[in-house]
Amino acid sequence: MSISRTTPGPVRQDDVTVWDPLIRVGHWLLVIAFATSYLSGEEEAGGPDQLHVISGYVLGAVLIVRIVWGFVGSEHARFRDFVYGPVGSARYLFNLARGRSRRYLGHSPAGGLMVLALLACLTGTVATGLVAYGELGHGPLAGMVATRPPAAPPNGHNAGSPEGAGSPESAGGEAESLAAELHGTLANVTLGLIVLHLLGVAGASLAHRENLVAAMIHGRKRRDRDGH
């Protein structure tokens, strides 16, 4: 765990590589894949858009690699570098609220909590998406979960089918499965976390007078004079 004092004044600034290439490429792939999945998530008659499915698979692959990297990766990629427990995180947030947050080379305790929350919600979103897709008879879980007919669109294209005629579904479409409902909810919770994530990145960048977005691109941060 690397900690350094908050020293807003000019200190000797030699750079140190904090984010390895896998973290950086993985991060921006997550951004692209999540945006693509979210924007193509509107269910069509017969199942999800192919773009939604493919970007969901990309998200899943990036998440698996990132989680494994959290155990075997570079110093600041490892979970043990940024998981501080409730007391450490609460102390950090308390100091942050008083404008006295310390600067961390890797993720701060609050940043670390957000990383865990984002990874957990993204994993839940992908997992429930796989189950919902399996229920439609597609994807790696097809045949392993009970099959359901695709949800009809709200204008009720299935209403003319023999099963749909006169049934409650014919008015509003087949009810979503629990997995599909959870999938949508988790995607929206993730979006909320992303908004907080961006506010946190902007706040920490301002508080410590450094460009954290640039650091996530080139991987480097300044090392303070005391070596942290």
Interface contacts to ligand HEM, rule CB under 6 A: 23, 26-27, 30-31, 34, 66, 77, 107, 111, 115, 118-119, 122, 194, 197-198, 201, 212-213, 216
At its nearest, how many Å lie between ligand HEM and the CB of residue 89?
Answer: 14
Residues 142, 188: Cα–Cα separation, whole Å: 25
Minimum CB distance to ligand HEM, residue 44 (Å)? 24
When the beta carbons of 23 and 96 are compared against ligand HEM, the nearer one is 23
Q: How far is the CB of 151 from ligand HEM (least distance, A)?
A: 25
Written as one string, the DSSP assignment of 110-164 is: HHHHHHHHHHHHHHHHHHHHHHHHHHTT-STTBTTB---PPPPPTT-GGGGSTTT
Buried/exposed code over 152-179 (b: 16+ C-beta within 10 A; e: otherwise): beeeeebbeeeebeeeebbeebbebbeb
Rounded CA separation 23/217 (Å): 10
Q: CA separation (Å) from 106 to 14, 23, 183, 187, 217? A: 16, 12, 31, 27, 14
Please say which residue, 115 or 186, places its beta carbon nearer to ligand HEM: 115
- Residue 63 or residue 152: which is nearer to ligand HEM going by CB? 63
> Please, which residue, 144 or 213, has the CB nearer to ligand HEM?
213
Total residues found in the chain within this entry: 228
Q: Nearest distance from residue 46's CB to ligand HEM, in Å?
A: 27
Closest to ligand HEM by CB, 118 vs 179, is 118
Q: Give min distance, CB of 199 to ligand HEM, in A.
A: 11
Complex with ligand HEM: residue 24 or 157, whichever CB lies closer: 24
Whole-number minimum distance, CB 154 to ligand HEM, in Å? Answer: 28
Torsion of CA 62, 150, 136, 128, to 10 degrees: 40
